[in-house]
C-alpha cells in the first residue's frame, strides 16, 4: 500500500441492518476492484440515548454478532479487506471476535477517551482515525493513545453531500506535517463525500496529489433506492469507473524517487536526449584556440556524436579548424 492508492468502498449504514443486502453490497464492492469494504457496526445503546432522533435508525442497523464474522469471511473470499466503524466496547468486541484487523474510529469518537484506550489495548492492528470536524489538539491526544497501532488519518466529512469548497484538501498536508513530529506509523487518507461521479473522481485525484494514500467513497446498490447514506454514494457501475479513474490518476502521479535521474522512464530518457542542445562553435575557431564561452554555444543539431556536457569541452585546445555552428566532437581537441 506504500506506493499504490488503497480504495475503501464505504457502505456505512447503507446495509440497513439486513444481512443479504450486506452481502450484495460486498459483492458490488468486489466487482468494482476496491481494496476494502467498510460498514458501521452499530449498537444503538452505546451510541445514543433513546430520545435521540436517530436512535430507532441505529437500532435497525443491529445484527447478531455471528453475522459480522460471516460478512468478514465473505469479503475475504472475494478478495476484500473488511473494515467496520466501532462506537463502543460492545462493537469493538464484536469486531475482534469477527477476526477483523482494521477498524475505523468515527469522527464522533475522536474525544471518546475510554473507547480509544480500549482500542489501544485490543487485538486490532490498524486504526483509521476520522479527523473531519476535529481540532488538532483533539487529534493529537487521540494519536498519542493509539500510538501502538498502524494508523490512517482520514480527512473529509459527510455533509450530505459535502460541497466542493468545503473539502479543504490542503488539510491533508498540514495534518501530515504536524503528525510527523509525533514519530508514528501513519498514512494519510481522504473520505470523499462528493455528490456525483465526476466530482468524486476530481476531488479524490486532488486528494491523492495532496498525499492521501487511502481513499474512502460511499457505495450503494442504487441511489434511486435511497438506502441510508445514498446522498454521496455511487452506484456499482459508477464506482467501478471511479476506481479505474483513481488508479489511473495514481499512475500519473508516480512514485517519489530521490535518485539523480529520478528513475526516469525510457520514454522520458528519450525525450531528454531529443531536446538537449549540443555544443557548437559560435564563430570560426582556429587550431590552437582554447574552447571558452566566448567561442562556443548550445544549439540542437542532427549530429548524434556531438557533445552536450560543457565540462567536457571548456578549456580544451582545438587541433583543427572549426566553422561557425559546427558541432564540437571529441576528435576536435586534444
- Closest by Cα among 62, 181, 142, 17 to 25: 17
Q: Which three cell numbers stand for residue 146?
A: 493509539
pLDDT tens string 27-41: 999 999 999 999 999
pLDDT tens string 164-217: 888 899 999 999 999 999 989 999 999 998 876 677 789 999 999 999 999 999
pLDDT at 278 over 50: yes
* pLDDT value of residue 1: 38
209 or 257: which carries more pLDDT confidence?
209
* pLDDT value of residue 252: 86
Whether 318 and 295 have beta carbons less than 8 Å apart is answered as no
* pLDDT value of residue 191: 95
* pLDDT value of residue 305: 92
pTM of the entire predicted model: 0.85
pLDDT tens string 4-25: 899 999 999 999 999 999 999 9
* pLDDT value of residue 290: 96
Whether 105 and 119 have beta carbons less than 8 Å apart is answered as yes
Q: Which three cell numbers stand for residue 226?
A: 435511497
How many CB atoms neighbour CB 141 within 10 A? 16
* pLDDT value of residue 100: 98
Give the DSSP per-residue string, 54-104. THHHHHHH---HHHHHHHHHHHHHTT-EEEEEE-SHHHHHHHHHTT-SEEE
* pLDDT-based confidence at residue 2 (cuts at 50, 70, 90): very low
Whether 60 and 105 have beta carbons less than 8 Å apart is answered as no
Tell the CATH topology of 6-253.
TIM Barrel (3.20.20)
Which of 247-256, 291-300, 315-324 has the weakest average pLDDT? 247-256
Q: Where are the domains of the chain?
A: 6-253, 266-332
For domain 266-332, the CATH class is alpha beta
Instruction: Give the separation between CA 76 and CA 221, rounded to whole angstroms.
Output: 20
pLDDT at 3 over 60: no
Q: Tell me the residue ranges of DSSP E strands in the chain.
A: 6-12, 36-40, 81-86, 102-105, 126-130, 150-155, 186-192, 214-218, 278-281, 296-299
Q: Is 183 helix (H, G, I), strand (E, B) or coil?
A: coil
Whether 26 and 37 have beta carbons less than 8 Å apart is answered as yes
- Supply φ then ψ for residue 30, to 5 degrees: -65, -45
- What is the mean pLDDT of the segment spanning 226-233? 80
- Supply φ then ψ for residue 180, to 5 degrees: -60, -30
How many CB atoms neighbour CB 177 within 10 A? 10
pLDDT tens string 279-317: 999 999 999 999 999 999 999 999 989 999 999 999 999
- What is the mean pLDDT of the segment spanning 224-229? 78
Amino acid at each position: 500500500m506504500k506506493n499504490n492508492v488503497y480504495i475503501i468502498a464505504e457502505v456505512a449504514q447503507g446495509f440497513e441492518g439486513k444481512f443479504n443486502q450486506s452481502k450484495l453490497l460486498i459483492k458490488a464492492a468486489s466487482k468494482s476492484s476496491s481494496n476494502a469494504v467498510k460498514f458501521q457496526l452499530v449498537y444503538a445503546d452505546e451510541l445514543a440515548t433513546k430520545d435521540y432522533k436517530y436512535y430507532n435508525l441505529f437500532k435497525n442497523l443491529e445484527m447478531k454478532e455471528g453475522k459480522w464474522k460471516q460478512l468478514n469471511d465473505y469479503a475475504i473470499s472475494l478478495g476484500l479487506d473488511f473494515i467496520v466503524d466501532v462506537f463502543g466496547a460492545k462493537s469493538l468486541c464484536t469486531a475482534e471476535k469477527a477476526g477483523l484487523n482494521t477498524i475505523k474510529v468515527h469522527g464522533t469518537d475522536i474525544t471518546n477517551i475510554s473507547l480509544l484506550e480500549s482500542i489501544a489495548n485490543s487485538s486490532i492492528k490498524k486504526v483509521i482515525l476520522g479527523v473531519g470536524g476535529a481540532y488538532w489538539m483533539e487529534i493529537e491526544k487521540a494519536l498519542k493513545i493509539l500510538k501502538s497501532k498502524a494508523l490512517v488519518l482520514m480527512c473529509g466529512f459527510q455533509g450530505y453531500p459535502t460541497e466542493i469548497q468545503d473539502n479543504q484538501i490542503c488539510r491533508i498536508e498540514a495534518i501530515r506535517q504536524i503528525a510527523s513530529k509525533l514519530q508514528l506509523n501513519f498514512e494519510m487518507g481522504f473520505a470523499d463525500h462528493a455528490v456525483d461521479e465526476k466530482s468524486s473522481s476530481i476531488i479524490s485525484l486532488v486528494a491523492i496529489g495532496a498525499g492521501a494514500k487511502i481513499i474512502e467513497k460511499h457505495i450503494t446498490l442504487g441511489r434511486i433506492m435511497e438506502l441510508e447514506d445514498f446522498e454521496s454514494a455511487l452506484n456499482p457501475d459508477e464506482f467501478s469507473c471511479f476506481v479505474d479513474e483513481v488508479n489511473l490518476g495514481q499512475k500519473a502521479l508516480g512514485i517519489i524517487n530521490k535518485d539523480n535521474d529520478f528513475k526516469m522512464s525510457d520514454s522520458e530518457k528519450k525525450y531528454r536526449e531529443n531536446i538537449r542542445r549540443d555544443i557548437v562553435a559560435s564563430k570560426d575557431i582556429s587550431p590552437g584556440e582554447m574552447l571558452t564561452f566566448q567561442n562556443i554555444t548550445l544549439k540542437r543539431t542532427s549530429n548524434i556524436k556531438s557533445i552536450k556536457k560543457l565540462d567536457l569541452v571548456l578549456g580544451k585546445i582545438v587541433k583543427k579548424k572549426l566553422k561557425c555552428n559546427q558541432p564540437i566532437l571529441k576528435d576536435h581537441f586534444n
